[in-house]
């Protein structure tokens, strides 16, 4: 049962990672697209705390014009997936 729940959590994180990828690509090529706005509804609440953390730690990064919060979110999600896979092997 626990292995199933961990598998579901891994699948949700992978889906979130895919949605984040779509959001990033659309923000570059089609920022006014309706799919971008739909993805933004789900992705922006996740990115906002990470963006705030990055700006607090590295305040001069605001001047670059590039948002590094998706990269940080991907790293965190990959670490979580890795930890959940290790936990799944135990159960």
Q: What is the pLDDT of residue 91?
A: 81
Helices (H), the chain: 2-29, 34-57, 69-90
Q: Is the distance from CB of 16 to CB of 76 less than 8 angstroms?
A: no
Range of the domain at 35: 2-90
Q: What is the pLDDT of residue 39?
A: 85
Q: How many domains does the chain have?
A: 1
pTM of the model: 0.86
Rounded to whole angstroms, the Cα distance separating 19 from 25 reads 10
Rounded to whole angstroms, the Cα distance separating 17 from 13 reads 6
Q: What is the pLDDT of residue 85?
A: 96
pLDDT in tens, the chain (91 residues): 899 999 999 999 999 999 999 999 999 999 888 988 988 998 999 999 999 999 999 999 989 889 999 999 999 999 999 999 999 998 8
């Amino acid at each position: 049962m626990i292995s199933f729940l961990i598998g579901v959590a891994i699948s949700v994180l992978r889906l979130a990672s895919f949605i984040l990828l779509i959001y990033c690509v659309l923000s570059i090529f089609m920022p006014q697209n309706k799919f971008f706005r739909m993805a933004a509804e789900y992705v922006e609440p996740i990115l906002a705390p990470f963006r705030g953390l990055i700006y607090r730690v590295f305040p001069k990064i605001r001047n670059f014009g590039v948002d590094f919060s998706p990269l940080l979110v991907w790293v965190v999600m990959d670490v979580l997936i890795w930890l959940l896979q290790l936990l799944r092997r135990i159960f």
